[in-house]
Structure 1
Amino acid sequence: MSQPRMIKRPAKKRTARATTAAAPAVPLTDFLDAAGSLTLDERKILVDQALLLLSENYVHLPLKIAMHAVNPVQRLRVMRARMERQTPDTMQPEWMFHREMSSIVNSVRDLHTNYLLPAPFAGKIAYLPFMIEKCYDTDGTEHYLITQTVTGYEAPQFGPGAEVTHWSGTPIARAVALNGERFAGSNEAANLARGLESLTLRPLVIQAPPDEDWVTLTYVGLDGSDQELREQWKVTDNLPPMTNLDAVGETSAAMGLDLDSDEKSRAKKTLYVRDVVELEGGRSSAELATPAAVTGTDLPTTMPGVFRAREVSTPSGRFGHLRIFTFSVTDPVAFRDEFVRLAGVLPQNGLIVDVRDNGGGHIYASEFTLQTMTPRRIAPEPVQFISTPLNLKLCRRHQFNPSGIDLGPWFDSLDLAIETGAQYSAAKPITPEDGANDIGQQYHGPVVLITDARVYSATDIFTAGFADHEIGTILGVDDNTGAGGANVWTHGLLASLLNEPPPPDETSPYVALPNGANLRVAIRRTLRVGKLAGTPVEDLGVQPHETHRMTRADLLDGNVDLLNKAGALLAAMPVRRLDLKTSITGTTLTVAIDAQGIDRVDLYLEDRPISSEDVTGPLSIDILDAAAGQVLRADGYDGGALVASRRQAV
């Protein structure tokens, strides 16, 4: 890793003016003075329940022990034994307890598996009033630039474009790497991405508070001068989460969400994108009754916190750019339909789907959307439980779908595991296959998917599905995705599953956690389909077909070089079009076909083959014995390969 450029002359120390935050903020020191009320017995409960989830529910435990040479279960046992020798007067300070719990859980390098701090940390963010992002010169030299500041924040020659060289005296690249080691990235790219992001923003529900009360930032100012400032950590409220993930229901059971990224995404809106917060009315991922545009160049959308759609002009042509900020929604069909609507308004000669920084959400939403960009039938990723008596008990109680959570597909294999010695259950999909294929392809132009190392969970699943179904080209700004391949459940949801529907299970080992603390665990691991069928997503992730190192212009001028690279990739891909116009007279259906990049069309009515036609120009075909309301499907081929498909009710 190259080192940043060193300061050439003594830096001038400056004190920044007060931060203007979106909500009342307090210094970190004041916040911590009022925090901490866990008793020794309450701490023992937290350790015991963490032991239970990791040893009985955690699907990746064997993988993590093998890949990272860690033993979190033994560390928790040692911690618990030491607590037996403590008293309320001799127990460690609460911040040390939280730090040790976080360290043990983070040791497995799994952003799905977390210790969530109790009140007053939940719902709070610690922040510095600026964002730092990394870019590269053409020779590969790294630079760390200020890209955002909180409204009203000022410091000498400071703002977007100022270059950070040192962090509290440590060269910035080294500070990022050291910070990244504290968090749970599954690979080096993910570690560095998390380390950089957490330099200035920490959701206190999932990350221990900063050790330092303030940081000293050394930077090259906007005028090229060498500058230094000291900035104090502050604490404020975050936006609320999309839904209650402890509640028993289909949404909470189908979550694939990196909570750290989700918390940070909401925090960034709170600090930097107040227009979206106001449009959403303070509700995360809200669906509006009337589409609205955040800026003048954006297409209006009913989900301004979820999508950003616009046309972009590149040297290779004009294309659509559709940013997906999150899959964390309550209605996956509404998500899919809004994606389709926006893609339909954008240019049809090429689409850039951009999922950078997307920590996931509803697994259905991610896999329902794949079908809209490919003629191939989507095979949702299958998932597996680890074989334990507790997971068997959960599946037995919910094998007939009494609560809306159907665990029946996994029950038989878990029930046999004692006899067969199988480590995992059978692999079955979470996403309903019919839902993943119910509307088929809607966008027929070429597609480029942009990823980075913060892509995680349901977004990793989306990216894996994009690759496995060969939908298009993946362009990564990092060498891998975050590599989070699992469905995640909270301790609250696990406890509720043994209590609902009534009567509750009196033998349930889950105990209520104190002060609003919580635990999350990767409960079912995901496996790839297609050519890599059976390969886990966890720790391996999805590698892009092409890479692009972010430039200074990308950070300061709307990702211009990144989008130009994506445009060049699109321009080299074939453009397809398959348009149908139908009319029915009596029982005769007339189909007019206008196609591009297709040499044969096969027609199906209600999935029954009707006709196969060579395409040399516009076609008109009459189909007898048709009826209004039936579904016509046209599959387009080029050189014998299926390249386009369209469905239409007649």
Structure 2
Amino acid sequence: MTDYKLDYVVAAMGLTEEQKKQIIEQSIREEREEIVDQALSFIENIYVHLPLKRARNAIDPVQRLKLLKYRLVNMNELKFQQEMIGIFAELRDLHTVYLPPMPYQSINFVLPFAIEECYENNQRFYIVSHVNEDFEHESLKQGVIITHWNGVPIERAIELNGLRNYGNNDVRRNHSLNSMTIRSGSKYLIPDEEWLYISYLTANREHYEHRFQWQTWNLPETQAQTNNQAVPHLKAYGSLAVDFETVKLQKIKKGLFAPITKDSQTSYETDFQWSIRTTSYGEFGYIRIHTFMVYDRQKFIQDLIRVLDQLPRDGLIIDVRDNGGGYIEAGEMILQLFTTNKIQPELFQFINTPTTLKIAPEPWKSSIERSLDTGAVYSMGYPIGGHSYYVDEINQYGKKYFGPVLLITDALCYGTTDIFAAGFQDNAIGPILGTNGNTSGGGANVWEYSDLFHPFGFSPLPRNAQIRMAVRRSIRIGNNSGLPLEDFGVIPDYIHNTTRKDLLNANVDLIEKAASILANMKGIHNLPLEVF
């Protein structure tokens, strides 16, 4: 109930301050009940990974929400929001999240530096990789090694912080590492620490400790929400597969530490960068795709084709690390540019319930109807476009690059980037070099709450709270036919442990490793992966 309505009621009825307080408390309680009821309905009837998450994580989010509804009376606002976030975080699914109301979504907390992991002699270290230009300190500079966090060894501190993060596998630890210095209000609400002490070693092996306080970093409201109101053409049956939290952190990092990359000979496009990298194995093309959140995929593809004409034919490196995903069609359309074979897209399924029968488009709707007789858990699998002409659409340009191609991934590759990596592997385009043991395992099509409440009769959530939900799960094709992508991700063919030189010198060792693999592939590209 808004203040002006409350004032009107108080004036009209002659209510006391105590009665006004009771009305406010009742209104807040009703708002919380509405949020819990809608979350319960969505998870129980729409959430496509519920059977998987119950089995793998030994959890029961449905029961937790039912219990929460009956415990609302004595729960303050912060505790309620923490409990809602905790229930969704327990799913370990970056597609399926609860976002608390404003102002939590727009407020973020930052430190003036970022830390990343690297390896030396097979031992893992955490170093300061970026420092805000306005932060001046005599010893805490780029390259120092972080040893302790509030007196806790840094490895253990990252592990403990990871318990509060969404995601599974290595993605959970990587998100934990990111959020050591950048914390989203939509996930953390407020930091637990009023201040913290960072212990570190300089290049001279001198030990120092410094006290920090969190600083607030506010994104504009339209950027903070990253919902369909900011993407006007997105329909209810949109093809998004994206980790919005990673997208948000990229915006914050860009503001804090831009320019992040130091690549030479780099041309900048809207959604990707390209360059020609000189290595001890020769010159190779390099394309870094930062996002698949492209609103004009035809222009995106045409820009790529123009760049490919300018790159050496001895080999191409496609780097999708840290790419949180975007539009599935954009990712799948790119694959055709690197193979003479016709690209077969990954397939998507709904869970079979009366609610998904109501919201699913064809051809999934007919499959869900048939499940009433068969008792199947999931619908038939179809390409994200649904219609038969989708395969022709993602193959309309054909092969444009005629040298060997290698893909670089990490555990922050999510959503569409997971699907892109799976398609790269399942269509036998080339080998994958990973800086982690798998991609993040974000195998689903995510729908916003706003995709559902207008077309299908659901009410908007109070105070602009938001729910995002994995609605269609991705299953793989080719040699991996039928395997789910969620939680398992894509396992690379080669592993490279990030080095200090990589972090501080434009990924020089990583590119050298990729070049060595490409050099051995000359003349054998577009053969099945078993040949490599």
Equivalence for 1:69:
58
Describe how 1:206-245 pairs up with structure 2 within 5 A.
Answer: 206-238=187-219, 240-241=222-223, 244-245=227-228
Name the TM-score, length of structure 2 as normaliser. 0.89
Say which SS state the counterpart of residue 391 (structure 2) adopts.
coil
Structure (1/2) with the larger helix percentage? 2
* Cα gap change, 1:348 to 1:251, in 2 (>3 Å): farther
Describe how 1:178-577 pairs up with structure 2 within 5 A.
Answer: 178-187=160-169, 189-238=170-219, 240-241=222-223, 244-245=227-228, 249-250=234-235, 253-273=238-258, 297-303=264-270, 306-395=271-360, 407-431=361-385, 432-498=390-456, 508=457, 510-575=458-523
Once the two structures are TM-superposed, the CA of residue 414 in structure 1 deviates from its matched residue by 1.0
Say which SS state the counterpart of residue 539 (structure 1) adopts.
coil
The answer to whether the 8 Å contact 1:159/1:222 transfers is: no
* Cα gap change, 1:319 to 1:495, in 2 (>3 Å): same
Once the two structures are TM-superposed, the CA of residue 480 in structure 1 deviates from its matched residue by 0.8
Equivalence for 1:285:
none
* Cα gap change, 1:442 to 1:194, in 2 (>3 Å): same
The answer to whether the 8 Å contact 1:114/1:520 transfers is: yes
The answer to whether the 8 Å contact 2:145/2:202 transfers is: yes
* Cα gap change, 1:269 to 1:37, in 2 (>3 Å): farther
The answer to whether the 8 Å contact 1:392/1:415 transfers is: yes
Equivalence for 1:47:
36
Question: CA offsets per residue over residues 436-481 of structure 1, 9 Å max, x none?
Answer: 1000111111111111111110000000000001111100000011
Distance 1:193 1:296 in 2: 23
Once the two structures are TM-superposed, the CA of residue 393 in structure 1 deviates from its matched residue by 1.0
- Which residue type is aligned with residue 270 of structure 1? G
Equivalence for 1:613:
none
Distance 2:54 2:411 in 1: 23
Question: CA offsets per residue over residues 406-443 of structure 1, 9 Å max, x none?
Answer: x1111111112222211111111114212210001111
The answer to whether the 8 Å contact 2:235/2:451 transfers is: no
* Cα gap change, 1:329 to 1:206, in 2 (>3 Å): farther
Whose radius of gyration is greater, 1 or 2? 1
Once the two structures are TM-superposed, the CA of residue 202 in structure 1 deviates from its matched residue by 2.0
**TM-align CA RMSD:** 2.3
The answer to whether the 8 Å contact 2:263/2:506 transfers is: no
Distance 2:34 2:359 in 1: 21
Distance 2:83 2:236 in 1: 31
* Cα gap change, 1:557 to 1:263, in 2 (>3 Å): same
Q: How high is the sequence identity, in percent, across the aligned residues? A: 40
Once the two structures are TM-superposed, the CA of residue 244 in structure 1 deviates from its matched residue by 4.0
Structure 2 unaligned residues grouped into runs of 5+: 1-24
Equivalence for 1:110:
93
Equivalence for 1:591:
none
Say which SS state the counterpart of residue 309 (structure 2) adopts.
helix
- Which residue type is aligned with residue 42 of structure 1? E
Distance 1:38 1:124 in 2: 25
Structure 1 unaligned residues grouped into runs of 5+: 1-35, 277-293, 396-406, 499-507, 577-596, 598-636, 644-650
The answer to whether the 8 Å contact 1:446/1:574 transfers is: yes
Distance 1:478 1:122 in 2: 30
Distance 2:515 2:193 in 1: 44
Equivalence for 2:20:
none
- Which residue type is aligned with residue 260 of structure 1? E
Say which SS state the counterpart of residue 199 (structure 1) adopts.
coil
Say which SS state the counterpart of residue 177 (structure 1) adopts.
helix
Distance 2:334 2:364 in 1: 25
Say which SS state the counterpart of residue 264 (structure 2) adopts.
coil
**Bigger Cα displacement from structure 2, 41-50 vs 521-530:** 41-50
Once the two structures are TM-superposed, the CA of residue 168 in structure 1 deviates from its matched residue by 0.6
Once the two structures are TM-superposed, the CA of residue 250 in structure 1 deviates from its matched residue by 4.4
Equivalence for 2:152:
170
Structure (1/2) with the larger strand percentage? 1
Equivalence for 1:151:
133
Question: CA offsets per residue over residues 525-549 of structure 1, 9 Å max, x none?
Answer: 0010101111110011100000000
The answer to whether the 8 Å contact 1:68/1:108 transfers is: yes
Distance 2:489 2:503 in 1: 25
Distance 1:295 1:144 in 2: 20
Once the two structures are TM-superposed, the CA of residue 251 in structure 1 deviates from its matched residue by 8.7
Mapped pair 1:98 → 2:46: no
The answer to whether the 8 Å contact 2:498/2:510 transfers is: yes
Once the two structures are TM-superposed, the CA of residue 575 in structure 1 deviates from its matched residue by 4.0
Once the two structures are TM-superposed, the CA of residue 203 in structure 1 deviates from its matched residue by 2.3
Distance 1:170 1:148 in 2: 22
Instruction: State how many pairs are aligned.
Output: 498
Say which SS state the counterpart of residue 186 (structure 2) adopts.
coil
Structure 1 stretches of 4+ with a deviation exceeding 6 A read: none
Once the two structures are TM-superposed, the CA of residue 295 in structure 1 deviates from its matched residue by 7.0
Say which SS state the counterpart of residue 544 (structure 1) adopts.
coil
Distance 2:129 2:374 in 1: 56
Distance 1:98 1:222 in 2: 43
Distance 1:264 1:180 in 2: 16
Distance 2:329 2:428 in 1: 19
Once the two structures are TM-superposed, the CA of residue 155 in structure 1 deviates from its matched residue by 2.1
Distance 2:131 2:498 in 1: 20
Once the two structures are TM-superposed, the CA of residue 181 in structure 1 deviates from its matched residue by 2.0
The answer to whether the 8 Å contact 2:288/2:318 transfers is: yes
Equivalence for 1:616:
none
